[in-house]
Amino acid sequence: MKRYFEIKEFTSGDKTRVYTIQETGASLSETDQFFSQFKDDPKFKKDIEIIVKWIRKISTEGALERFFRPENKGEAIPIEASKLRLYCYRVNDDILILGNGGQKTSRSVQNSPEAFPHFQTINEVALIVKWKESQGKLSIEGNHLKGELRFFINPKRNERDI
């Protein structure tokens, strides 16, 4: 079943514009859902503080490669030890797209049922953004994404569907 999304601005700093994705019909973006789920749970207080610290650092210093954990086509923050992962796609040093995340309960994200769907989604987002840019449907102007910011994810997707 297709899931429809839009890329929306989340925050921006001196260096980097941070976007998020929001599913059509959802009241919160994927990133806001992540924070809503974990922010009031005392066992994740430190993890949330670490992730917020990294988002602030990235927005002011740039979405530099060294700030992220490589996760297939996407990335994850934080780079330091944490029980939580927030999945994202680093477009370049000036643009970051945040998704959702969850608790990583095993060494492999594929064996972490709470985190794995969000890992899959951000990897699809990365493929779609790259494809749209290659087709001229999306462009990067400074730290702004311009063009078609709506898309859908189809589990049985092929290039015609993007």
Strand partners, 97: 19, 89
Mean pLDDT of the chain: 92
Average pLDDT, 10 consecutive residues per value, the chain (162 residues): 94 95 98 97 96 96 94 87 94 98 89 91 96 97 97 68 45
Which candidate, 121, 129, 101, places its Cα nearest to that of 33? 101
Report pTM: 0.93
- State residue 160's pLDDT score: 41
Give the integer Cα–Cα distance in Å for 134 and 132. Answer: 5
- State residue 56's pLDDT score: 95
